[in-house]
Amino acid sequence: MNEIIAVGIVTLLAVMSPGADFALVTRNSYLYGRHLGMCTAFGIAMGVWVHISYSLIGLGILQQHLPSLIQLIQYIGAAYLIYIGYKTFTQAPILFDENSNQITRWQAIRHGFLTNSLNPKTTLFVMSIYSQVMTNSNPLHTLIGYGVFISGSHLAWFCLVALFCSAPFIRNKILARQVIINRIIGGILSALGLSLLFAHF
């Protein structure tokens, strides 16, 4: 029971802390609306399973025999954050009477999936949890249950973020200042990517 409570608290705090996932859902929600914001949240929840899968399959093997693979994932994730940050920083104002400016549902899901699955923060978070709970006393179904909780927490939280940021009053306020907000979010994303990139040199 203590283990379940500890995993729950750590997961909720990690999910709610601002980062690349939060910035992306915020961006897609106020730019493209509630539905695509929630699609982005779904993509993020799917991306979490990438981290859960390789943690379950071989956390110990990776740590002992393939540490360069973990480092490569971290480099790719940092570079992707920088790219998304640049694209957001240079984003032209969205005019919603032009359908060509909208992204598709699958693009929103892909944005969320790639941002999370390549996010070194989520890599370290999931691996740190599973390095503590992968013991002989925990059967596979318990470990998968933790994964369901971690993924579900991401989905629930970021759907709430999408609902808030796409609310008409909030959304109109944000859209009126979207160039400034895009540059702030883009700068934050790029700074996160750069800090992660240099942290591993």
Domain count of the fold of the chain: 1
Per-residue pLDDT tens digits for 86-106 = 887 887 776 554 444 678 999
Query: Two tokens at 15?
Result: 């999910």
- Residue 90 amino acid letter: T
Range in 5-9, 115-119, 144-148 the model is least confident about: 5-9
Task: Identify whether the C-beta of residue 145 lies closer than 8 Å to the C-beta of residue 6.
Answer: no
Q: What's residue 41's pLDDT?
A: 96
Per-residue pLDDT tens digits for 29-40 = 988 889 999 999
Cα separation of 157 and 182, whole Å? 22
Rounded to the nearest 5°, which phi and psi values hold at 135? Answer: -120, 170
Q: Which of 112, 154, 150 shows the shortest CA–CA distance to 129?
A: 150
Query: Is the pTM here over 0.75, yes or no?
Result: no
Could you tell me the residue range of the domain that residue 85 belongs to? 2-11+20-199
Average pLDDT, the chain: 81
The highest-confidence range among 70-84, 122-136, 139-153, by mean pLDDT, is 139-153
Rounded to a whole number, what is the largest CA-CA distance in the chain?
58
The helix or strand, by DSSP H or E, that contains position 146, with its residue range, turns out to be: helix 140-165
Give the pLDDT band of residue 166 (cuts 50, 70, 90). confident
Average pLDDT (78-91) is 79
Angle at 126 between CA 162 and CA 187, to 5 degrees: 50
Cα separation of 53 and 148, whole Å? 11
Task: Identify whether the C-beta of residue 170 lies closer than 8 Å to the C-beta of residue 164.
Answer: yes
Q: What's residue 135's pLDDT?
A: 65
CA atoms within 13 A on the CB side of 182: 18
Q: How many CB atoms lie within 10 A of CB 106?
A: 11
Q: Which of 20, 74, 38 shows the shortest CA–CA distance to 196?
A: 74
The highest-confidence range among 7-11, 21-25, 56-60, 107-111, by mean pLDDT, is 107-111
Per-residue pLDDT tens digits for 39-74 = 999 999 999 999 998 888 766 576 566 666 666 766
Average pLDDT (13-24) is 79
- Tally of helices (H runs) and strands (E runs) in the chain: 9, 0
- 95 secondary structure, DSSP code: -
Give the pLDDT band of residue 157 (cuts 50, 70, 90). very high
